[in-house]
Structure 1
Amino acid sequence: MISVFIRSIQLFLSISILIVIHELGHFLFAKIFKVRVDRFFLFFDPWFSIIKRKIGQTIYGIGWLPLGGYVKISGMMMNEDVASHSDSENNNKKKYWEFRSKSAIKRLLILSGGIFFNVLLSIIIFSSLLFKYGETNLPTKNVRFGIEVDSFGKKIGLENGDRILFINGKYISYFNDLPKAILLGNSITVDRMGKILNLSLTDDKKRFLFDRKEFRPFIKPRIPPIINYVVKNSEADKSGLKKNDEIIEVNSEFILFSDQLKDIVSKYKNKTVDFSINRNGSLIQKKVFLNKKGFLGIYLKNFMDLNQIFSFEKKNFSIIESLIYGGKKTWEVLKNQIFFLKNVFHIKTKAYKQIGSFFSMAKEFPTQWNWYIFWSLTATLSIWLAFLNLFPIPSLDGGYIFFILIEMITKKRIKEIIFERCTFIGFLMISLIMMMVIIWDIFKVFFS
């Protein structure tokens, strides 16, 4: 329950930051061009708001419905002043502080401000993380023992011990880029025990990678079975297994890699087995009982814990370098999102199953607070929000921008009645899509 609370708080804080920054973009551009902003709200406030206060000409507040936020810019809609003025002739006069009185380029910049600020936020966050923490990567050439694959990796044709040579005929320098390259690629070239094989990546195969409850890496470096943690009062703990023990034999079956341990242990459920352990260079024998589920009571080290086996590359960045690479990182995240969206429309890949709402987003945050992961996910969500708002759907920023671009091309303003009706229809469309996504997400989380 605590983990759910921590995840929810992280998501709530992240979304709040993104909304405020997005609306701040619209707000500041409006102020630059001397357009009056009537309201600036975090979350929507139908019927009532939690907090609101008027400062100058603007009412600032927090609504109760956490599905977004908004700034109300004066003069965006023709009928805004109708209720307060009976003289229709006065209603048609454009006042200097109204949005509709400004040139097309100024209106375009005001409407693009939210998207621009979300992109800027993503670059700033990624750049700051790179400057503070640097970047640690595992070169593909240093993956000494090949890869370990899960059941989904096996379904696309990979096997434990494969060495990935090329994706689409191209060498991938760093291991952490391999999963993405495989999803984007059409073929994998592997070295399987000295034999070079080419594996095709069809949509039918890729659906195994998308059709998963948890979207985690399907390949990792193959590593020896070295214990990282022993569960207290487990059978492993009672038998005397300890952290940093390397398991080398189970019932006289020799083991080199952690995937072999998992396969062998699964054969001895509800039985007592003999373990041969390498402890600081000494060979130790232990008897361990495995319950009916084959649970041993240990967690093995992952490849990031094994600096003595793998040679990692650590790179630190200056302020200028971090800004450059932060921009590149933002672009890479955006490309990944475009790729994912493209696959959503390929029914065979079943990528649509990974579409989610707040429930799915919350699951991406860790169960313990981690600022690095929090800011990384916030930066990713920020560029995702910017990308979604580019869609030319009325009621989204992209819809308004689309109308203004038409105006700039044709040199004619679209009638405001058409603009308002399209906005209303767009709002209904977005609301319907959001409801469908939330219902789908609830079904996935609670009934799948």
Structure 2
Amino acid sequence: MTSILIRSIQFLLSISILIVIHELGHFILAQIFKVRVEKFFLFFDPWFSIFKKKIGHTIYGIGWLPLGGYIKISGMMINDKNGSDKNTYQVKDWEFRSKSAIKRLLIISGGIIFNILLSIFIFTCLLFKYGETYLPTKNVKYGIEVDSLGKEIGLRNGDKILFVNNKYVPYFNEIPKAIIFGNSVTVDRMGKIINLSLSNKKRFFFDKKKLSFFIKPRVPPIINYVIKNSEAEKYGLKNNDEILAINSELILFSDQLKDFLLKYKNENIFMSINRSGKFIQKKVFINSKGILGIYLKNFMDLDYIFLFEKKNYSFFESIPHGIKKAWNVLKNQIFFLKNIFHIETKAYKQIGSFFSMAKEFPSKWNWDIFLTLTATLSIWLAFLNLFPIPSLDGGYILFIVIEMITKKKINEEIIERCTIFGFIVISLIMMFIVIWDIFKVFIF
């Protein structure tokens, strides 16, 4: 329950930041062009609000329904005329409709602009603080370890990836994305060069309950830490022990150890260990699940085996890299969105509501992960709001662009009706996604 609460708090804080920043973008642009904002609300407030206070012309508040937020801009809709007859009503100079098309376009685009800037700012700060650490592909000396997905697309433990789409990928962290986007991968399998076609295997990337890394560098079986009260602790295994053999069968890599533990379920084994240069042998019982109670080191823990490259940036150097990172995140999201409409890829299985988003946050508070996910959601929110659907920012932008091209104002009643229709459509889509998110747990 504690982990659920921590995830929920992180998610709620993240979307609150995104909502406030988005609406602040509209608000600031409205203030710059001297347009009044009547309301500025975090979350929706049907029937009542948790908090509200009027300052100047604006009521600031917090609603009780955490599905978004809004600002109410004076004179934006046809019914914002305080009961006056639409034929005799005189537009005030502080109303939205009194401003030129370019000013209205900027006000409506403010939320999108600010979400983009927030994403870039967060990525820039993270890069400035931590830099970037890369593992060159040439330094993945033992080849790769693959999960069930990697095996389904034709990869095998120990493969050394040479090319993706006939191109050399210099850094290992870029290889999974290159494979997902690519149509072929060339590997060295025990000295034999093999070319694997990926064109008919795209569905495998999405046909899972959760997307995961399907390849990682192959590593020796070295214990990172022993779980308390586990079989491993009971039999005297310790952190940093390197497992060399089981029953005199040599073990070189972590994936081999996992196979051996499953092979010897419900049996006693003799485990040969290298402990700080000392050779030790332990008699160990493997339970019915093949679980020993240890976590093995991954390649990031083994910088004395793998040679990493570290890039540090000054703050100003971080800015273009922050922009690039935000752009790459957006490209990945667009790629996923495109695949949703191709049924054969089964990407629709990965569609999720705020329940799925909340599960992406860690069970223990981690500011770096929190900020990275917030930056990712921010650029995604900006992109979604660009969709030319009435009631979204993109819908209003579309109407204004049409007006700028035709030099004629669109009838306000048409805009209002389209907005109401768009709101209904968006609400139905959101309801469907929430229901789908709940039931897909039982379907797949």
TM-score (norm 2): 0.98
Counting matched residue pairs gives: 444
Name which of structure 1's ranges 210-219 and 101-110 shifts more when overlaid on structure 2: 210-219
> Is 1:275–1:285's contact at 8 Å kept on the other side of the alignment?
yes
1:220 to 193, 212, 216: 216
Name which of structure 1's ranges 48-57 and 337-346 shifts more when overlaid on structure 2: 337-346
Q: Residue 190 of structure 1 aligns with which residue?
A: 187
- Indicate whether 1:338 and 2:324 are aligned: no
Q: Residue 166 of structure 1 aligns with which residue?
A: 163
Q: Residue 142 of structure 1 aligns with which residue?
A: 139
- Give distance in 2, aligned partners of 1:231 and 1:325: 39
> Is 1:127–1:322's contact at 8 Å kept on the other side of the alignment?
yes
- Give distance in 2, aligned partners of 1:442 and 1:228: 36
Q: Residue 59 of structure 1 aligns with which residue?
A: 59
Q: Residue 391 of structure 2 aligns with which residue?
A: 395
Q: Residue 362 of structure 2 aligns with which residue?
A: 366
Task: Give matches, 1:28-43, under 5 Å.
Answer: 28-43=28-43
- Give distance in 1, aligned partners of 2:359 and 2:247: 39
What secondary structure, in the 3-state scheme, does the structure 2 residue paired with 1:288 have? strand
- Indicate whether 1:294 and 2:290 are aligned: yes
2:311 to 300, 312, 315: 315
- Give distance in 2, aligned partners of 1:88 and 1:441: 44
- Give distance in 2, aligned partners of 1:121 and 1:427: 26
- Indicate whether 1:119 and 2:101 are aligned: no
- Give distance in 2, aligned partners of 1:215 and 1:153: 12
What letter matches 2:159 in structure 1? D
- Give distance in 1, aligned partners of 2:347 and 2:24: 33
- Indicate whether 1:104 and 2:101 are aligned: yes
Give the superposition deviation at 1:171: 1.3
Q: Residue 279 of structure 2 aligns with which residue?
A: 283
Give the superposition deviation at 1:82: 4.7
What secondary structure, in the 3-state scheme, does the structure 2 residue paired with 1:24 have? helix
- Give distance in 2, aligned partners of 1:387 and 1:441: 21
1:351 to 347, 350, 355: 347
Q: Residue 48 of structure 2 aligns with which residue?
A: 48
What secondary structure, in the 3-state scheme, does the structure 2 residue paired with 1:94 have? coil
- Give distance in 1, aligned partners of 2:99 and 2:11: 37
What secondary structure, in the 3-state scheme, does the structure 2 residue paired with 1:183 have? helix
Give the superposition deviation at 1:366: 0.8
> Is 1:25–1:117's contact at 8 Å kept on the other side of the alignment?
yes
Give the superposition deviation at 1:446: 5.8
Q: Residue 238 of structure 2 aligns with which residue?
A: 242
What secondary structure, in the 3-state scheme, does the structure 2 residue paired with 1:34 have? coil
- Give distance in 2, aligned partners of 1:268 and 1:170: 42
Give the superposition deviation at 1:447: 6.0
- Indicate whether 1:409 and 2:405 are aligned: yes
Q: Residue 429 of structure 2 aligns with which residue?
A: 433
> Is 1:153–1:209's contact at 8 Å kept on the other side of the alignment?
no
TM-score (norm 1): 0.97
What letter matches 2:33 in structure 1? F
What secondary structure, in the 3-state scheme, does the structure 1 residue paired with 2:75 have? coil
- Give distance in 2, aligned partners of 1:270 and 1:318: 56
- Give distance in 1, aligned partners of 2:128 and 2:144: 31
Give the superposition deviation at 1:264: 1.2
Give the superposition deviation at 1:445: 3.9
- Give distance in 2, aligned partners of 1:363 and 1:178: 26
What letter matches 1:169 in structure 2? N
Give the superposition deviation at 1:218: 0.6
Q: Deviations over 1:302-340 (max 9, x none)?
A: 111001110111111001111111011111111111111
- Give distance in 1, aligned partners of 2:428 and 2:439: 17
- Give distance in 1, aligned partners of 2:249 and 2:69: 61
Task: Give matches, 1:72-87, under 5 Å.
Answer: 72-83=72-83, 85=84, 87=85
Gaps of 5+ in 2: none
- Give distance in 2, aligned partners of 1:366 and 1:95: 50
Q: What percent of counterpart residues are identical?
A: 74
What letter matches 2:17 in structure 1? I
Give the superposition deviation at 1:88: 4.2
What secondary structure, in the 3-state scheme, does the structure 2 residue paired with 1:41 have? strand
- Give distance in 2, aligned partners of 1:152 and 1:106: 50
Give the superposition deviation at 1:118: 0.3
- Give distance in 2, aligned partners of 1:438 and 1:445: 12
Q: Residue 4 of structure 2 aligns with which residue?
A: 4
- Give distance in 1, aligned partners of 2:152 and 2:360: 25
Q: Deviations over 1:332-385 (max 9, x none)?
A: 111111111111111111111111011111111111111111100000000000
- Give distance in 2, aligned partners of 1:30 and 1:14: 25
Give the superposition deviation at 1:423: 0.4
- Give distance in 2, aligned partners of 1:245 and 1:446: 41
